[in-house]
Amino acid sequence: MDIAVVGLGLIGASFAKGIKQHTNNKVYGFDINNETLTKAKRDGTIDDIVLMNNLSDFDMVIVALYPVNTIEVCTDALKTMKRGSTLVDLCGIKGSIVDKIEPLALKAEVDYIGTHPMAGRELWGYDAAVNDLFKGASFIITKTENTNMEKVKILRNLAEEMLFKESVITTPKEHDKIIAFTSQLAHVVSNAYVKSPSLLEEKGFSAGSFLDLTRVAKLNEYMWSELFVMNKEPLLFEVDNIIKELEKYREALENDDIHYMEELLKEGRILKEKSNLAHSKKC
């Protein structure tokens, strides 16, 4: 296939590198940053540069941008893509994007599929991209009643070649509900956690638990703000739930109630053990 990747930041460039490294497809790229394009061609990340106003030669166009830009660029891309080609977006939110892009894709007779590669780094931009970012990761593919399942098979095969561990097929709504818990809430909590006045005094007192909990506090605030707001209701549910649970721990502490604290901690431990067991059975 001839594949065009639009947006050569961390995810887009890593995707392009992965395709080049592990498949026989040709990869072309576009980015608004000319320096990035120069690097990408020089480094061999892409075979050549593509013009956004002429996407008619490509079998697949992959858009890897922030949520708002994803909608804008997908809309423009559909104006020049050929009939029967495939449009894919890699954005971490699906419902809002699918709702806007799918009707336009159907009208253009282009097969649109919303996806989400579950991998990232605490860095961003082209220079942070690597060809094995997705090795062992999960690739989420969303489908609707209009999805061309033959194209889903092609995407799954591509993901397998790129060394993704598995492809998970779900609906946009289910994706957004679960991702609010597994990813977005974790970033909110981590970012809020480091706002303690004790942060600058942690040197020599921190170990693995501190590193684990603070890792994703270093985030791209522009991208994550869009993701959070566009997934407002599922994320609000998760934020409200964790606040409710934290109030229980606060109550136990305030009342010196060691037995209640034990119950709370035991409940959390058991839930985590059940989660681990369920995960191991799936694997």
- pLDDT tens by residue, 62-121: 999 999 999 999 999 999 999 999 999 999 999 999 999 999 999 999 999 999 999 877
CATH 1.10.3660.10 fits 176-282, yes or no: yes
Beta bridge partner(s), residue 231: none
Query: Could you give the angle at which helices 258-282 and 232-254 cross, rounded to 10 degrees?
Result: 140
Place of tokens 């104006």: 79
Q: Who has greater pLDDT, 265 or 208? A: 265
* Mean model confidence pLDDT for the chain: 94
pLDDT at 282: 65
Domain spans, the chain: 2-171, 176-282
pLDDT surpassing 70 at residue 126: yes
C-alpha to C-alpha distance for 253 and 261, rounded to whole angstroms: 8
Give the predicted TM-score (pTM) of the model.
0.90
Beta bridge partner(s), residue 113: 88
pLDDT at 207: 81
pLDDT band at 50 (very low <50, low <70, confident <90, very high): very high
Query: What residues contact 196, with CB distance under 8 A and at least 6 apart?
Result: none
pLDDT at 28: 96
Considering the chain, what percentage of its residues have pLDDT values greater than 70?
98
C-alpha to C-alpha distance for 264 and 274, rounded to whole angstroms: 16
**According to CATH, what is the number of the domain 2-171?**
3.40.50.720
Q: Who has greater pLDDT, 109 or 281? A: 109
Considering the chain, what percentage of its residues have pLDDT values greater than 90?
87
SS3 annotation, 91-132: CCCCHHHHHHHHHHHHHHCCEEEEEEEECCCCCCCHHHCCCC
Q: Which amino acid is at 254?
A: E
pLDDT band at 123 (very low <50, low <70, confident <90, very high): confident
pLDDT at 283: 55
